[in-house]
Structure 1
């Protein structure tokens, strides 16, 4: 059985993911260390993990595999999930796979080093747009269809 795993801390597309998972009748795990209102949807399980660095990430990485879809913005978690055989999507719909995860990890590490070297560097990422949300919905739909075909 395939499942959808949501790395829920700071995830802007939980509601959208729930709608798509429900349409496909796929179990969805919303994983965080608290602060979320549980869904009443019987297909959605809210998983509250203990506080601690990367505890939610480890919970997801330990359970996902081929036929599953993981939604996360955490690149190291994405790499573990790709390695486990899961399909991985960022919140903006960008697919992370064995073909691109190495470059994405390297870019993340480079940006971390640049920020550390310049403590006055301002700015963050760009804002989350309606176009990002639309791309995510389309990508999730395609990923869940592909995951179902692997079962």
Structure 2
């Protein structure tokens, strides 16, 4: 049975994911350290994990598998989920697969090294846009259909 897992801390697309899960009648696990308003939707289970680094990530990685869909912006978690056979989407709709997750990990590590080498570097990434939200919805719909078909 397909389950939709949401790495919920700092996830900007929880509501969109809930709409897709509801449309497909798929259970959704919203995993966080707390502080989120629970949904009244019976398909949505809020899982609150203890405080600590990567506790929510470990919870998801230990439970996801083939046929599941995971939404996360955390590249190391994405790599573990892909290895477990899950379909993984970033918040902007970009799919992480066996073919590209290694490169995503390498890029993440390179960028961390560059930031560490230049402590005066200011600014962050670009903002989350309506186009990102729209791409996410389209991508989640495709991944959910594929997961339910067992493709």
Q: TM-score range by the shorter chain?
A: over 0.9
Matching residue of 2:27: 27
SS at match of 1:30: strand
- Mapped to 1, the partners of 2:3 and 2:143 lie a distance apart of 11
Matching residue of 2:15: 15
What aligned pairs does 1:2-151 form with structure 2 within 5 A after superposition?
A: 2-150=2-150
Q: Deviations over 1:90-146 (max 9, x none)?
A: 000000000000100000000000000110011111000000000000000000000
Unmatched 5+ residue regions in structure 1? none
- Mapped to 2, the partners of 1:9 and 1:119 lie a distance apart of 26
SS at match of 1:10: coil
- Mapped to 2, the partners of 1:136 and 1:41 lie a distance apart of 21
SS at match of 2:35: coil
1:150 shift after superposition:
1.2
- Mapped to 2, the partners of 1:125 and 1:149 lie a distance apart of 35
Q: Deviations over 1:50-109 (max 9, x none)?
A: 001100000000000000000000000000000000000000000000000010000000
- Mapped to 2, the partners of 1:123 and 1:100 lie a distance apart of 26
CA RMSD of aligned residues (A): 0.8
Q: Return the TM-score normalized by structure 1.
A: 0.99
- Mapped to 1, the partners of 2:113 and 2:137 lie a distance apart of 32
Q: Return the TM-score normalized by structure 2.
A: 0.99
- Mapped to 2, the partners of 1:67 and 1:61 lie a distance apart of 14
